[in-house]
Amino acid sequence: MSTSAGPYKSPGTEITIELDPQHDGNIIRKAFLAESVLNLFTIPLITNTRTILSYLLANPSQINSTSIFFARLFGGLIVGGLTSALWAGLPNTKTGIESRKVVYITLGMGEVFLLPILALEAAKAASGEEAALSVLGCGATIACLLPPLLWRAYVLFVKPELMGRYREVKRD
């Protein structure tokens, strides 16, 4: 059994790249950083769940151990999963640049599914039906999710060069 790596590379091994000077990815890197910092504002959903839910829910008296548990899971997904995915796309390395599209598609698909659910819940609350979230809670959440989705769509479909471009260069 050979111990030499040979022509194989592990995913973490970076090759030498040269950034496209006109499309170096710095705009998207700033967007990734800003969004990851904003995601950290979800930490109170994990640490002060009952208080945050009292602002979001239509009937705060219905807060129970189950709603607290699922709110904390949701907060954990945002802070632990989405934020770390954004951090993976921050470096201007081959793997960083190549991960950006996948990260934006993944985050965008989440928003595509969450927005109609929230809109239906807001409509339910506005019509007087029993709803889990208040109209204000739904509206605030939609206001937080819609602009990033529009930005992602713009970057993915109109200006994909904002993701950054590179070319591989031979090592000496």
pLDDT tens, 44-77?
999 999 999 998 888 899 899 999 999 999 999 9
Asked if the model's pLDDT at residue 139 lies above 60, the reply is yes
What is the C-alpha separation between 33 and 83, in angstroms, rounded?
9
Give the pLDDT of residue 6: 63
Q: Is residue 18 part of a domain?
A: no
Question: 13 pLDDT band (50/70/90 cuts)?
Answer: low
Which residue, among 71, 116, 89, 70, has the nearest Cα to 28 in the 3D structure?
Answer: 89
Lowest mean pLDDT among 20-29, 63-72, 108-117, 138-147: 20-29
Which residue, among 94, 91, 89, 95, has the nearest Cα to 155 in the 3D structure?
Answer: 89
Q: Is residue 2 part of a domain?
A: no
CB 24 within 8 A of CB 164: yes
Lowest mean pLDDT among 49-63, 121-135, 158-172: 158-172
Average per-residue pLDDT for the chain = 90
The tally of domains found in the chain comes to 1
Give the pLDDT of residue 109: 97
Q: Is residue 10 part of a domain?
A: no
What is the C-alpha separation between 143 and 147, in angstroms, rounded?
7
Asked if the model's pLDDT at residue 43 lies above 60, the reply is yes
Q: Is residue 108 part of a domain?
A: yes
Q: Give the percent of the chain with pLDDT over 90.
A: 70
Question: 169 pLDDT band (50/70/90 cuts)?
Answer: confident
In which domain, by residue range, is 117 found?
A: 25-161
Q: Is residue 168 part of a domain?
A: no
Give the pLDDT of residue 2: 52
Cβ burial, residue 131 (10 Å; 0-12/13-18/19+): buried
Residues 6 or more apart whose CB falls under 8 angstroms from that of 19 comprise: 25, 92, 164, 165, 166
Q: Is residue 1 part of a domain?
A: no
Q: Is residue 4 part of a domain?
A: no
Asked if the model's pLDDT at residue 3 lies above 60, the reply is no
Which residue, among 65, 28, 52, has the nearest Cα to 141 in the 3D structure?
Answer: 52
Which position has the higher pLDDT, 107 or 15? 107
Q: Is residue 12 part of a domain?
A: no
